Amino acid sequence: DFLEARKKELVVSGMDKIEETRMVMHVNGVVTLESRMVLRKGTLCYPDR
């Protein structure tokens, strides 16, 4: 697990990381905030949120 995490970190380090948060409404009526990292290659600049 630790090696896998390091491998992913090495891959991620060369990309732009954008954190994307969205509200999800579940079938049972519970609303949760889901946060995921969107990875994009390139040198685009994204403002910090």
- The tokens for 40 are 């994009």
- The tokens for 35 are 């946060």
Degrees to nearest 5, angle at CA 34 with 30 and 39: 165
Residues in the chain: 49
Burial of 6 (C-beta count, 10 Å sphere; 0-12/13-18/19+): exposed
Q: What is the pLDDT of residue 28?
A: 76
| pLDDT tens, residue order, the chain (49 aa) | 566 656 565 555 555 565 666 777 777 777 776 666 665 555 455 555 4
Phi, psi of 21 (to 5 degrees): -115, 135
